[in-house]
Amino acid sequence: MKQDCNADQNQLTGFWFVLPALLFMAAFIGYPIVYNLILSFQDVGVMTLNNPVKEWVGYRNYLQLLGDPLLKTVLANTFYYTIACIVLQFSIGFALALLFNRSFRLAKSIRSLIMIAWLMPVTITGLIFKFIFSTNGGLINEFLLGLHWLSKPIEWLLQPSTAIWALIITNTWIGIPFNMILLITGLSTIPREVYESASIDGASPWQQFIHVTAPLLKPAIEAVLILGFIYTFKVFDLVYVMTKGGPVNATEVLSTFSYRLSFTEFSFSKGAAVANILFIVLFMVSLGYLRLIREEEGM
Amino acid sequence: MKKTWVFFIGTLLLMAIVCCSGFAAAKTKMVVWTYMEGQTQIDTLNWMFKTYNESQSESEIVLQYVPFADFKKQLSVGMVAGKLPDLVVIDNPDHAAYAQMGLFADLTKYIAKWPERKAYFPGPWKSTTLNGKNYGIPFTSNCLALFYNQEMLKKAGVTPPQTWSQLRVAAKKLTSPGVFGLGMAAVKSEEGTFQYLPWLLSSGAKIDQLGSKQSIQSLTVLADLVKDGSMPKEVINWTQADVEKQFAAGKLAMMVNGPWNIPEVKRDAPGLKWSVVKIPRDKVYSSVLGGENLGVVNGKNVAAAWKFLQFVGSPKLVKEYSVRFNMFPPRQDVAGDKTWSEDPVMSVFMDQMKYAMPRGPHPKWPEISNAMITALQEVLTQAKTPEQAAKDAQTKVDAVLK
C-alpha cells in the first residue's frame, strides 16, 4: 500500500519535471504545425491576405498542387537527391569508419580533420562548391581538362541533368563525416572477444564482417540511415545557395518550392500545403523508425 | 517570499515610469526598412534622415537594414506577426502586391492635395498606384542600357549594334577565346526578369502575350546568342553584379546593366575604356523601369509619415539624393538638370529612361515574373524550344490573370 503511494508520488514528480519541456514543445513545435495545417486548408494569398475572414477551401490547395506537373518534378527531385545522397554517404562513411576503427598512427587526428566538413556552415560549403563546379575555371573542370580526361568543360550547374549531381556530390561530402562518426561509435561498442572467437572458428575477415559486425551494428546503421534521410530530405540552404532551384526547375526540392510559393509568389496557403507534404513524409519515416526500435527492445 | 514580490513589482513599476516618461517628451520614432546596401547608399539615406530629423520636432526617422533576399519574407511575416516598420523602401514591381495585401496605407486623399505629384514621370508614378489609388511616391529610378568595351569593338572593327540582327553579328565577331560578345543576368529571380523585359517589350509583345510570335522572337534572339557561343550559358546563374565583374575583368565585350553599376566598373577597372548605348531593338527601343518607391505602412503614424514623404519629394532633395545614389530622379523637372543631361554616359541612360516601362503594376506580378524567367531559362539551357517555352509561359500567365 505504502509502496503504491510512493510510486504515484514518483509519477507525479516526474510529470512536473517533464512539464516545462512539454509546454515548450507545444508552443514552439506543436503550434506552428497546427497553424500550418489550418493555413493549407484556407485560401490565403495576395488577394485575400487583407480579408478579415479567411475562406475555408478544404482540399483545394492540395488538389491544385497534385494537378500541377511541377509538384511531381519537385517530389521526384527530392527523392532522387535524398536516396542518391544516402547511398553514397553511407557506403563511403562506412568504409572510412572501418578504416579508422583500426588503430594506426594519425588515425585520431585524421578522423578529427574529416569532421571539419560536417562542422562547416552549409552556406559556406555551398558557396565554395559553387566555385569548384563552375564551368570555366572551376577546380573540377580544370583538373579533368588538365589530365586530358575531358575534351571540353562539363557545364555542371548549367544543365538540368548535372546540376542535381553537383548538389548530391556536395551534400555527400558534408554527410560522410556524420555517418562515419556514428558508425565508429557503434563499432567501438563491439567487444574484441567476439572477433577473436570468430577467427578461432576460422571465419575470414569478410565472413566476420557479414556475420559479426553487420548484425551487431544494426541499431547504429538504422539510426544513421533514418537520421540521414531526415536531414537530407529537408535540404534547403545548400540548394538555395548553389542553384536556387534552377536551371529551370531541375533542382527545386520540396523545401525550396514551399519557400518560393510563400515568399516570392505570396501564395501562403499553397506554400503551407507543400510544407505539409514534406512533413507527412518525414512523419511516416519517423513512425517507422520508432516501431523498429520498439520491436528491437521487445526482442 | 512576500519581499521578493514587492521587489519584483517595484522594479516593473520603475521600468514603466522610466520608459514612458522617455517617450512622452520625445519625438515619434518612425522606422524605415530598406534593403539598399553599400556604403554610398546607406550614407545617403542616413544623411537624408538626419536632415529631416533636424528640420522638425515632431518625428524622428530611423533606418533599419533588411537584406534583399529576406526582405519580402520579413514583410510578409511582419504582416502576420504585427511587427512592421512605419515606412518601406520597396522594389517597384512589388509595390502593387503589398498594396493589395493591405500593407500600405492609401494616400490618395493626401496626394490629391499635393501639387508636386504632377512633376513625376508617368512610369514610376504608375508603379505606386493600384486600382486608381495612390500607395506611395517614387523614390529612385533606373533602367538598363548596353555597356560596351571601346577597345574591343575598335579591334574587331565593330560599331555598337542598334538592332537585333546587328547585335548577333557583332557579338559573334567580338567573341574570342576567353571573351564572350555579350553578357546579361538571367538568374532565376526578379533580376533575371528585369533583364529579359527590354527584349520582350522591344519585340512589341505585352506581358499578357507571352505566347505571341513577337515573344517567341525575343526568346529566340537570346537563345541564338548562346547557340552561337557569343553569350555564355552561365548567364542563367549570373546576377547583375556578377555580369559587372565579368565585364570589368575583360571577359565580356558588351553587357546589359544599369547606372548603379557605373561606379562599380570604374572601381573594378579604372583603366577600362567603355561607353554606353541604348539596348539593341527589334521594333522599338525599349527598356525596363527599375528603382524603389516609398510606401507608408498602415498604422497610427500615417500622417507623420506623409509629412516625411513630402520632404523627400521636394525637388531640391530629389536632386541631392539622386546624385549621391548615382540613380535617376523620378521627377521630370529635376531630370532636366545638367548633372544627367550633359554627362555622356548618364545622358544615354536618360534617353533610355523615356522608353522605360514599369513592371505591372499588378498584384500578382511575382507569379507573372516567374513564368517569364522560367521560359527564358528553358530556352537558354535548350530544355525547350522557344515556341514550347512561350506556350507554357502563356498558360501560366493565363491562369494567374484569369
Q: Give, in order, the Cα–Cα distances in Å from B258 to each of A201, B150, B290, B328, B358.
A: 78, 18, 9, 11, 15
Give the burial string for A228-243 (b: 16+ CB within 10 Å, else e). bbebbbbbeebbbbbb
Would an 8 Å CB–CB cutoff place B67 in contact with chain A? no
Q: Residue A220 in contact with residue A185, Cβ under 8 Å? A: yes
Record the cell numbers describing residue A101, joined without a space.
Answer: 576503427
List chain B residues with CB under 8 Å of A243.
Answer: 237
* Residue B123: pLDDT band with limits 50, 70, 90: confident
Within 10 angstroms of residue A222's Cβ, the number of other Cβ atoms is 15
**What are the tens digits of pLDDT across the range B193-250?**
999 999 999 999 988 899 999 999 999 999 999 999 999 998 998 889 889 999 999 9
Give the A window 78-107 contacts with B, CB below 8 Å: none
Residue of A nearest to B381 (CA): A159
Strand partners, B34: B65
Would an 8 Å CB–CB cutoff place B106 in contact with chain A? no
Rounded to a whole number of angstroms, the distance between the first and last alpha carbons of chain B is: 67
Q: Tell me how many helices (H) and strands (E) chain B has.
A: 19, 13
Q: Residue B287 in contact with residue B199, Cβ under 8 Å? A: no
Q: Give, in order, the Cα–Cα distances in Å from B40 to each of B43, B47, B264, B290, B402.
A: 5, 10, 11, 19, 43
DSSP B290-336: B-EEEEEBSSTTHHHHHHHHHHHTSHHHHHHHHHHHTSB-SBHHHHT
Give the side-chain half-sphere CA count within 13 A for A68.
Answer: 16
R_g of chain B computed on alpha carbons = 24
Helix spans in B29-187 (H): 39-55, 68-81, 95-100, 108-111, 122-126, 150-156, 164-174
Give the B window 357-396 contacts with A, CB below 8 Å: 363-364, 366-367, 370, 374, 377-378, 381, 383
Q: Which of B252, B274, B258 is nearest to B149 (CA)?
A: B274
Would an 8 Å CB–CB cutoff place A262 in contact with chain B? yes
Q: Give, in order, the Cα–Cα distances in Å from A250 to each of B184, B320, B374.
A: 21, 46, 11
Q: Give, in order, the Cα–Cα distances in Å from B267 to each of A246, B273, B328, B345, B347.
A: 31, 13, 20, 16, 21
List chain B residues with CB under 8 Å of A244.
Answer: 187-189
Q: What is the pLDDT of residue B22?
A: 46
pTM equals 0.80
Element (H or E) spanning B28, and its range?
Answer: strand B28-34
Would an 8 Å CB–CB cutoff place A263 in contact with chain B? yes
Would an 8 Å CB–CB cutoff place A132 in contact with chain B? no
Q: Which of B103, B127, B100 is nearest to B359 (CA)?
A: B127
Please give the CATH architecture assigned to the domain spanning A61-297.
Orthogonal Bundle (1.10)
Q: What phi and psi values does residue B103 have, to the nearest 5 degrees?
A: -75, -40
Tell me which of A264, A267, A270 to substitute to probe the interface with B (most B C-beta atoms closer than 10 Å).
Answer: A264
List chain A residues with CB under 8 Å of B366.
Answer: 264-266
DSSP B93-124: GGHHHHHHTT-B---HHHHTT-GGGGGB-HHH
DSSP A139-155: HHHHHHHHTTS-SS---
Judged by CB atoms closer than 8 Å, whether chains meet at B102 and A247 is answered as: no
Distance CA B198, CA B257 (A): 11
List chain A residues with CB under 8 Å of B370.
Answer: 260, 264-265
Would an 8 Å CB–CB cutoff place A142 in contact with chain B? no
Q: What is the pLDDT of residue B7?
A: 58
Judged by CB atoms closer than 8 Å, whether chains meet at A158 and B234 is answered as: yes
Would an 8 Å CB–CB cutoff place B298 in contact with chain A? no
Within 10 angstroms of residue A48's Cβ, the number of other Cβ atoms is 16
Distance CA B321, CA B312 (A): 9
Cis previous bond, A247, omega within 30: yes
Judged by CB atoms closer than 8 Å, whether chains meet at A262 and B76 is answered as: yes
List chain A residues with CB under 8 Å of B385.
Answer: none
Record the cell numbers describing residue A106, joined without a space.
Answer: 594519425
Strand order from edge to edge, sheet including B180-183: B180-183, B252-257, B145-149, B274-277
Would an 8 Å CB–CB cutoff place B229 in contact with chain A? no
B307 burial (CB, 10 Å; 0-12 / 13-18 / 19+) is: middle
Distance CA A93, CA B60 (A): 58
Would an 8 Å CB–CB cutoff place A159 in contact with chain B? yes
The helix/strand/coil state of A259 is helix
Angle subtended at Cα A65 by Cα A60 and Cα A67, rounded to the nearest 5 degrees: 95
Distance CA B41, CA B115 (A): 28
Q: Residue B138 in contact with residue B125, Cβ under 8 Å? A: yes
Judged by CB atoms closer than 8 Å, whether chains meet at A249 and B189 is answered as: no
For chain B, domains (ranges, CATH) are 30-142+290-358 (3.40.190.10), 145-289+363-401 (3.40.190.10)
Judged by CB atoms closer than 8 Å, whether chains meet at A264 and B237 is answered as: no
> Residue A107: what residue type?
A
Residue of B nearest to A49 (CA): B101
Would an 8 Å CB–CB cutoff place B242 in contact with chain A? no
Per-residue pLDDT 10s for chain A (299 aa) are 555 566 677 888 889 999 999 999 999 999 999 999 999 999 988 878 777 788 899 999 999 999 988 999 999 999 999 999 999 999 999 999 999 888 778 888 888 888 888 899 999 999 999 999 988 778 999 999 888 888 888 888 888 889 999 999 999 999 999 999 999 999 988 888 888 899 898 888 889 888 888 899 988 999 899 999 999 999 999 999 998 887 888 999 999 999 999 988 889 999 999 999 999 999 999 998 888 888 877 65
DSSP 8-state code for residue A130: H
List chain A residues with CB under 8 Å of B365.
Answer: none
Check pLDDT > 90 for residue B307.
Answer: yes
Residue of B nearest to A268 (CA): B76
DSSP B169-180: HHHHHH-BTTBE
List chain B residues with CB under 8 Å of A266.
Answer: 76, 97, 101, 366
Strand B133-134, strand B129-130: pairing: antiparallel
Record the cell numbers describing residue A56, joined without a space.
Answer: 475555408
Position with higher pLDDT, B363 vs B16? B363
Measured in angstroms, the CA of A250 and the nearest CA of chain B are apart by 10
Check pLDDT > 80 for residue B349.
Answer: yes
**What are the tens digits of pLDDT across the range B265-301?**
998 999 999 999 999 999 889 889 999 999 999 988 9
